A and B are shown apart, each in its own frame.
Chain A
Amino acid sequence: MTINTFVPNPISPRVLGHRRSAIADQLQSATGIMLGCFLLVHLHFESSILLGKDAFYHVVQFLEGGMFSATGHGYPWTSQIISLIMLVVVMVHAGTALRRFPIQLGQWRALRNQQQIIKHSDSRLWFWQLITGFGLFFLAPVHLYDMLTDPSIGPNLSAERVYHGGLWILYIVLLPMVVIHAMLGLYRVLLKWGWINQRTLLRKLTMIAIVYLLMLGLASLAAYLSIGAELSLPVTPYTPS
């Protein structure tokens, strides 16, 4: 039998407090909330196409400051500015969230091993948040870059982008990824800071929101494809009659 000598360890530098950990955690939460809320608004605005071309035209006209422009159509550069801001927010969010990624093979194996042994639904949900987050790391900048370089939005112009530009392929992958990631992220951040403790209700609402937003997004995408298929090139921007 061996006896281990008890030697208290001094606090290692590793466990000393780091301001950057707290700041990174706050930044990740803040940018996540911003992006999640933006997605909710964004999907509803773009789904106004389901109410007709006129409805979508007026939403775009309002958001691009149509009331301040001489032509009444607004300024497409507002979309560029918003895209630029969102790109910065996405980068900050991705940068701070990268701390959570199992970047080493050993960490990935430990995660998979634990998931095989222990059945836990919230950990599994987080796993999907991780996978979708990884996908968004590549896909979200593509969408934002597209909006930065070609900010023209409108019933016909957007339909052209989706149908003739072939961007429906990007959106069909981006939509489920961003919806799942954002809704699970909002669910988690509300619990993380203790702002809401009614977890069962919150989880139900999250699942309802995921299904609702997916249906809304898919219906809108179908509408743009349908409009795009009827358009002949070159496309003329839509103007209400």
Chain B
Amino acid sequence: MSAARTLTFSIFRYDPQTPGDKPKMVSYQLDETPGMTVFIALNRLREEQDSSLQFDFVCRAGICGSCAMVINGLPTLACRTLTSKFEHTTITLMPLPGFELIGDLSVNTGKFMREIAERLKLWLHPSSDDKDIHILEEPMAPEEAARLYELERCVECGVCVSACATKQMRETFVGAVGLMKIARFEFDCRDNRSADDFYHVIGNQDGVFGCMTLLGCQDNCPKDLPHMQQIAYLRRKMTHALAIS
């Protein structure tokens, strides 16, 4: 059996809360263990070498989306990235660009997601006469439920936002996460909003017509969501809404 590799983690360090602190890259060495993920490595570094290291995690299983960061140039989830997949022993970790930096590798994706949800009204809008909560919902066709579930898998990790150069250049652009969630409600038969209603929210330069199809969202989404197809669908749908309005 070959000897365990010694990995070098080059990590972005900066605490905006500390006066006078400057952004820098700091290197740490760690022996690789079988099945080690970047998330495990970061926890070991924090426990064994530097307790001030800041990064986020909750579920450790690719479900919560908290541990998203840029690993060797690719934005992805630390908990789903095995260190063994890297041929070289130096692993560079950067925080996701485009979000408010909390410190080191920790960014405030929650603030962005909440603002997007408020701005795009990302919740179910039932019909106005559907107010009796005691009435059982109409059953949904399994095909429709499966279609919704496919889009519902978004964990709001923020990878699509960081991977999108359009979003980086245009702060007000809603990004793939916003468009994906709109597509989710557009498919939902319980949502009473019309194409015209959605058009008023995303039928503009900050919405679907601002997307330049750079496909960073499609290529980096850790949940493999069909961003390219959904954005194209919304674009056609919004164009059609314009044509008939």
Contacts and interface: CB of A to CB of B under 8 A. Distances in A.
B210 A17 contact: no
A118 B215 contact: no
B107 to A, nearest CB: 12
A114 B204 contact: no
B222 interface: no
Given A110-B168, A111-B168, A113-B97, A118 B75 contact: yes
Given A11-B201, A110-B168, A123-B216, A19 B242 contact: yes
Contacts of B162: 114, 118
The range of chain A's interface size is 35 or more
B118 A194 contact: no
A22 interface: yes
A25 B170 contact: no
Given A11-B119, A114-B168, A117-B97, A193 B236 contact: yes
Contact of B119 (A12, A21, A113): A12
A26 interface: yes
Nearest to A122: B215
B15 interface: no
A77 B209 CA distance: 39
A1 interface: no
A199 interface: yes
A93 interface: no
A188 B213 contact: yes
Interface in A110-131: 110-111, 113-115, 117-120, 122-123, 126-127
Contacts of A25: 209, 235, 239
A194 B233 contact: yes
Secondary structure of the A contact surface, majority rule: helix
Given A19-B242, A118-B163, A123-B214, A197 B203 contact: no
Contacts, number: 125
Contacts of B168: 110-111, 113-114
Interface in A122-180: 122-123, 126-127
A118 B210 CA distance: 21
B201 A17 contact: yes
A120 B236 CA distance: 26
Nearest to A102: B169
Contacts of A2: none
A120 B160 CA distance: 12
Interface in A1-56: 8-9, 11-12, 14-19, 21-26
A62 B81 CA distance: 61
A14 B214 contact: no
- Which of A15, A99, A113 lies at the interface centre, i.e. has the most chain B CB atoms within 10 A of its CB? A15
A157 to B, nearest CB: 41
A194 B119 contact: no
Contacts of B70: 117-118
A18 B203 contact: yes
A120 B213 CA distance: 13
A192 interface: yes
B94 A120 contact: no
- Which of A22, A111, A188, A197 lies at the interface centre, i.e. has the most chain B CB atoms within 10 A of its CB? A22
B7 interface: no
B26 interface: no
Contact of A114 (B165, B213, B238, B242): B165
A17 B199 contact: yes
B214 A17 contact: no
Given A8-B118, A25-B235, A110-B168, A120 B216 contact: yes
Contacts of B214: 120, 122-123, 126
Contacts of A11: 119, 121, 200-201
A215 interface: no
B97 A118 contact: yes
Contacts of A9: 115, 118-119
7 contacts: A21-B210, A110-B169, A115-B165, A120-B163, A120-B219, A122-B214, A193-B235
Given A117-B97, A118-B162, 9 more contacts: A15-B119, A17-B200, A26-B239, A99-B205, A118-B70, A118-B163, A123-B165, A126-B212, A193-B232
CB-based closest 9 A-B pairs? A194-B232, A119-B73, A17-B203, A192-B213, A21-B209, A107-B169, A114-B168, A25-B209, A17-B200
